[in-house]
Amino acid sequence: MKQYWDIKSLHEDKILLFRMGDFFEMFFDDAVKAAPLLGIALTQRNKKGGDATPMCGMPHHSVAGPINKLLAAGFKVAICDQIEDPKQAKGIVKRAVTRVLTPGMVYDLETLDGHKAHYLACYDGAFLSFLDTTTGEAFWVPASTTRDVLKYLEVLPVAEMVLPTTLEMEGLAAGLTLSRHDELATPSSLLPEGSPESSARLISYVLQMSGAEILNTLQPFQLRRLEGRLHLSGTVLRHLEIFETYRGEGTGSLLHAIDRTKTSAGHRRFRQWLSFPLTDVASIEARLQAVEAWRNRSADLKRVREVLGKMGDLERRLGKIPQPTCNGRDLLSLSNSMEAGLAALSFVSSAGDFKELSQLSARIQETLLEDPPLSTKQGHLIRTGVSRELDEVIELSTNAHGLLARMEAEERAKTGISSLKIRYNSVFGYYIEITNTHKDRVPASYQRKQTLANAERYCTDELIELERKVLSAQTRRNEMESEIFDDLRRSVLAAGSRVARLADHCSELDVLTALAWLSLERNYVRPQFATEQTLSLKASRHPVVEQSVGREFVANDLQLDREQCLLLTGPNMAGKSTLMRQVALSALMGQMGSYVPAYEARLPIFDAVYTRIGASDQLSEGLSTFMVEMTETAAMLKSATSKSLVILDEVGRGTSTFDGMCLAQAILEFLLKDVRCLTLFATHYHELTSMERFWPQIRNAHMTVSDRGGDIRFLHTLTSGPALKSYGVQVAELAGLPSVVTKRAKALLKEVERQGPASGAQLSLGAALDLTAVVPAEDDERKEALEALVGQIRSMSISQLTPLEALNRLAHLQESCHGLS
């Protein structure tokens, strides 16, 4: 085990996979940690020797899944391989670590979620750098505080954070792997002038882990700023269910509803555009103009999307080329992706010249067999005609029997000995056997190798040379094919930046054509942008809810001009939250460059969207619903500007009625007076509707409810003015509460309404009513039923009823009268 410990001592912080024959083994603590995680047996070595060694292992050809499980659990993995042929080894086989993997640098790209980036991040105290080794994407952002860093980590999918040993950082997510690294890479084309230490540290870290070849697939680091981007916090992304629903599912999210991209790279870019909508009008209009252009080319739009659908993930296929596991199938997949990408870009005149990539793709196809093996070391990889020398070697390795038969026939003709045979054994190799009857006819050039009782065995220079070629042909074939493959792989890596540029063009094309397709499919409209804070939506719809309910969805008009706050009241289930969310989603979609779900849309440019929607206890952190609500509201009030969109849904509900109402009013006053942003404010505190008399910036509105004799129906239509009732008890009835409970609630409600809105009403409720009564009096029930019956009669349009309809209605009324006498 000395060799093992020598290598392990250099990688103490990693799980060491130690190649032994056809298996990768893990020993000692590594085995104890890995076995239960991977679901494999933990055994022991040297049990009888009194020094048992815990161990576990897996076949070398099936390590991808286990390695990715280890990485997902936060472990780093060092792969120690055999670096010489065991058959030629003198003593212990030489081994060395050929690759180090971390959670930020995956082993098998096929197991990654193709729809998400996979970032390594590094912070140096002033700047935060990001690098996705699977796609080559690299950028950095200013981040002067821990809060800035955490803000980015909420939005971007970071798998590993690299910090210098001198920097401590609190607040990182529990599942995020933290690594320490101090070395900095020297300036290069990947580190343009002005690149921060965090970028240089990431390059150095990746070099140390993966080797220099990976640099060919990385893009130069670029500066990205939050300026010019609409700010969305992780909280807002959750509240608006942008990427996941509250249940953590992708289905039902905005992304799932509107993403029509055809490629994984396109999906990642679509997600990025949705995460960071633009605030520069010119940039937004440029995207919208491109979308409109594709809408006007409907035939080409369909064809280009069909081509993109065949493209695969060019970015990540390029990212796999520098890896030791790269094989012929990877190069062919890359070639097919390049061909599809080039075909897609043929629809775009401004895409640039990628002729050299077309030639490279053709070279790959002409060099590799259609269905190459997984290994690049065992031959059967390269087509005939690529190398004359290789063709000769292949001929030798595959037609050795035919070559020997041909030589045998030639020697028989030359010597006139018809019984001459060429044979092989492991002791003497190939030989010519001639019976004693014909040994006087043996040519002088034959060299005796062995004498038998009835025959002699010979060899010739030609046979010795043929034997050498045949026996070494397969080994030579494997070596030559591997050399040709490596040369081809180096050519691809040399063209890495051009392939990355092709992938970048194609992902943008995919997003733009997807947005065009979506707008036509869902009948969306191109938004107009106002320089002032004016918001006007006609026939606005919710992009997610609309797709689930279809034509039943009720569109609404909404306009905020002189007003800056829409104060929404009304019962639950009436559609207040849906309306507010659809306004926010329309704003995000518009600023990402998408058409929006409306008949007409005029929107301001928002610099941020802030939301406080729904309950989100964090009990594990000791925070109640109300504390979370107040914390999020505090952050919102500190950060919002006059150009922000603020959405507050039932703020203050987590405490007593009067505390909550006072807090809600104070928060709304602060937004109106100090922040002066556009605000959508939904509340059950109907007392707040009176603020409209003192604040001209407020516009009261409610979601309409039809109430016919106690039979309520939610119309989901936005109407001016405050709601007159909350219909809480009726909603409870619809929810299926026992009738004994809802009847009791109605009685209590009547008493509260009788006492009036005085502050003492609630406090005296218990004393004012007989709390032992379970249901209202029978007379009250009869009175309610009669009122409902009268309401139904009054609501009838008699002149519009047919005779049959009138008879049916009469029968229904007669049925309703049973039990009232």
- Residues of the chain with pLDDT > 90, as a percent, come to 55
Instruction: For residue 45, give Cα distances in angstroms to 27, 40, 57, 479.
Output: 9, 16, 12, 36
Q: What is the pLDDT of residues 73-97, one digit of tens each?
A: 889 999 999 888 777 778 888 999 9
| pLDDT (0 to 100) of residue 808 | 64
Q: Report pTM.
A: 0.80
Give CA–CA dist 595/519, Å, rounded: 6
Q: Which residues contact 652 (CB under 8 A, 6 or more apart)?
A: 629, 659, 660, 661, 662, 663, 664, 667, 683, 685
Q: What is the pLDDT of residue 216?
A: 80
| Highest-scoring range by mean pLDDT, 110-119, 162-171, 195-204, 658-667 | 195-204
Confidence band, pLDDT 50/70/90 cuts, at residue 506: very high
Mean pLDDT of the region 452-472? 90
User: How many whole angstroms from its chain centre is CA 683?
Assistant: 35
Domain ranges, ordered by start, for the chain: 2-101, 114-280, 282-372+482-518, 388-477, 525-731, 779-821
Work out the average pLDDT over 713-739. Answer: 81
Share of the chain above pLDDT 70, in %: 89
**Averaged over 617-646, what is the pLDDT?**
77
pLDDT band at 771 (very low <50, low <70, confident <90, very high): very low
The lowest-confidence range among 112-121, 270-279, 314-323, 793-802 is 793-802
> Which residue in the block uniquely carries the two structure tokens 């939904």?
682
**How many C-beta atoms lie closer than 10 Å to residue 707's C-beta?**
13
User: Does pLDDT of 538 surpass 90?
Assistant: yes
67 has pLDDT over 60? yes
| Of 99 and 358, more confident | 358
Q: Which residue pairs, CB below 8 angstroms and at least 24 apart, start in 779-784?
A: 780/747, 781/743, 782/820, 784/710
> Pick from 277, 284, 240, 276: which is nearest to 152 by CA?
276
pLDDT confidence tier of residue 768, bands split at 50, 70 and 90: very low
Least confident span in 106-110, 511-515, 782-786: 782-786
Residue 746: the pLDDT is 78
Q: How much is the pLDDT for 782?
A: 61
Q: How far apart are CA 129 and CA 463, in angstroms?
A: 65
Q: Are 192 and 220 in contact (CB under 8 A)?
A: yes
Band of residue 48 on the pLDDT scale cut at 50, 70, 90: low
The whole-angstrom separation of Cα 213 and Cα 210 is: 8
pLDDT in the model for residue 353: 78
Average pLDDT over residues 25-50: 88
Q: Which residues contact 454 (CB under 8 A, 6 or more apart)?
A: 435, 436
Mean of the per-residue pLDDT values of the chain: 87
Kindly indicate whether the domain formed by 2-101 is annotated with CATH number 3.20.80.10. Answer: no
Structural fold of domain 282-372+482-518: MutS, DNA mismatch repair protein; Chain A, domain 3 (1.10.1420)
CB 515 within 8 A of CB 595: yes
State the pLDDT confidence band at 791, using cuts at 50, 70 and 90: low
Helix pair angle (328-345, 496-522), 10° resolution: 60
210-261 residue pLDDT tens:
878 788 888 899 998 777 899 998 889 999 999 999 888 989 999 999 999 9
**Beta carbons of 565 and 671 less than 8 angstroms apart:** yes
Q: What are phi and psi of 654, to 5 degrees?
A: -85, 5
The answer to whether 60 and 23 have CB atoms below 8 angstroms apart is yes
- pLDDT band for position 680 (cuts 50, 70, 90): very high
Task: Report the chain's C-alpha Rg in angstroms.
Answer: 38
Quick check: helix, strand or coil at residue 820?
Answer: coil
pLDDT given at position 765: 44
Written out in words, the top-level CATH class of the domain with range 525-731 is alpha beta
Q: What is the mean pLDDT of residues 377-397?
A: 88
Q: Percent helix, strand and coil across the chain, each rounded to 5?
A: 45, 20, 35
Rounded Cα distance between 362 and 712, Å, is 69
**Which CATH number does 388-477 carry?**
1.10.1420.10
pLDDT class of 764 with cuts at 50, 70, 90: very low
pLDDT bracket for residue 702 (50, 70, 90): very high
CATH 3.30.420.110 fits 114-280, yes or no: yes
Instruction: Quote the pLDDT of residue 251.
Output: 92
| Distance in angstroms between the alpha carbons of the first and the last residue of the chain | 98
DSSP codes joined into one string, 95-121: EEEEEEEBTTB-S-GGGS-TTS--EEE
Q: Is the pLDDT of residue 712 over 80?
A: no
In this predicted structure, what is the pLDDT of residue 266?
A: 96
What strand order describes the sheet that includes 53-59? 43-45, 53-59, 23-27, 15-20, 77-82, 95-101
Across 191-195, 495-499, 641-645, 771-775, least confident range: 771-775
- The answer to whether the 114-280 and 388-477 domains have the same CATH topology is no
